[in-house]
Amino acid sequence: MKKFLSLLAVSAMLLTGCSSTSTATTTTTAPAEATTEAATGKEVKVGVSIYKFDDNFMTLYRNEIENYFGTLKDGNTYNVTIQDGKGDQAEQTNQIDNFIAQDYDVLIINREPSEEDMKAYDGTDYQGMYTYVGADARQSGKFQGEIVADLADKGDLNGDGTLQYVMIQGDPENVDAQYRTEFSISQYEEVSGLKTEQLDMQRGDWDQAKGQEIAANDLTKFGDKVEVIFCNNDAMALGAAQAITAAGRTVGKDIYLLGVDALTDALSMIADGTMTGTVFNDHLNQAHTAVDCAVKAVNGEKLDAYYWVDYVKVTTDNVAD
């Protein structure tokens, strides 16, 4: 049997392999309801490679992958091994090489490949055996920009016709960070008709402590000039919120704060007004679609190149939902 699959959720690629240093292995045997199913039930080795376990959003995603495999009732046995890349590319590559060497059937790997890489298998025997499951980060950026443009004052607290903002980026090599940074601002300008001035942009690597440090420095340096802090994710926005409070500023009154992901803490803050808005990064749908694709691939069905999952804008208007 030719094995060469892969999926992604929030980014992925597929191959074959196996792992030795597993961090989490779950075996799920789906009860077969008919004898015929039991006879056809397969043992499926699934390798999941997460760039870093210590990441709030990726934790929600990976837990849901594991949970959802556990709900499958198709007669197959899914042995799911989830590994922690620890934020180290060499480490993650090594783990993936091991999955392949150990003849895993399906890989779920996180990070969106470039379009060029996605096309590399077009026209080969592997076409339809790899896919990307994820959200289009351009949409999340646009939604952030629209949330600010839709505020009564369009975020322009000082009324000078220009939005002065700080951008706290995730990992700048990650397409999610690149698109959110770019599209939040271009969409803001388009919808509001106002100009923008970037006071600062720093990489916060998706990390709360870094978000706090960057925001604290910028609030000291630029003071009341800062009208909006855009964060590429909620973890960094939670950090920025701590810095905003420490600087004696008040979200919704003299500053605005945006994130992405819709972490539980961010939702509570939107409900109580200490954060302006976020964008729901649908880990449930992304995890379920990735697993559904894995199952299809195992059953020999061809996959599309992309399966997109929508983001959802979250403000005080709909946070209760």
Binding site for ligand GAL (CB under 6 A): 10, 51, 55, 57-58, 170, 174, 176, 206, 233, 235, 260-261, 281
Residue closer to ligand GAL by CB (options 128, 141) is 141
Nearer to ligand GAL, 256 or 311 (CB): 311
Q: How far is the CB of 62 from ligand GAL (least distance, A)?
A: 10
SS3 assignment, position 313 = strand
CA nearest neighbour of 156 among 247, 227, 103: 227
Residue nearer to ligand GAL on the CB measure, 155 or 170: 170
Minimum CB distance to ligand GAL smaller for 128 or for 211 = 211
SS3 label, residue 64: helix
Q: Of 84 and 261, which has the nearer Cβ to ligand GAL?
A: 261
Dmax (CA) of the chain: 73
The β-bridge relationship of strands 24-29 and 77-84 is antiparallel
- Minimum CB separation of residue 149 from ligand GAL in Å reads 21
Residue (154 or 203) nearer to ligand GAL, CB: 203
Per the DSSP assignment, residues forming a β-bridge with 229 are: 166, 257
Interatomic CA distance for residues 70 and 77, integer angstroms: 10
Minimum CB separation of residue 114 from ligand GAL in Å reads 15
Phi-psi region of 87 (alpha: psi -120 to 50; beta: other; left: phi over 0): left
Neighbouring C-beta atoms of residue 44, cutoff 10 Å: 22
Cα(286)–Cα(245) distance, integer angstroms? 34
Please name the helix (run of DSSP H) or strand (run of DSSP E) that holds residue 185, with its range, or none: helix 175-192
State the minimum distance, in angstroms, from the CB of residue 201 to ligand GAL.
17
Instruction: Report the alpha-carbon distance of residue 64 to residue 264 in Å, rounded.
Output: 15
**What are the structure tokens assigned to 160, written together?**
């000078």
CB 50 within 8 A of CB 134: no
As a whole number of angstroms, the distance between CA 143 and CA 146 comes to: 5
User: In angstroms, what is the minimal distance from the CB of 61 to ligand GAL?
Assistant: 8
Q: Which of these, 252, 256, 208, lies nearest to 234 by C-alpha position?
A: 208
Residue number with CB closer to ligand GAL (156 or 261): 261
Q: What is the SS3 assignment for 52?
A: coil
In the bound complex, what is the minimum distance in angstroms from residue 183's beta carbon to ligand GAL? 14
- For 151, 164, 172, 269, the CA distances from 187, given in Å and listed in that order, are 14, 15, 20, 24
Q: Which residue's CB is nearer to ligand GAL, number 10 or number 109?
A: 10
Whose Cβ is closer to ligand GAL: residue 139's or residue 276's? 139
Q: How near is the Cβ of 206 to ligand GAL at its closest, in Å?
A: 4
Smallest gap from residue 235 Cβ to ligand GAL (A) = 6
Closest separation in Å from C-beta 150 to ligand GAL: 22
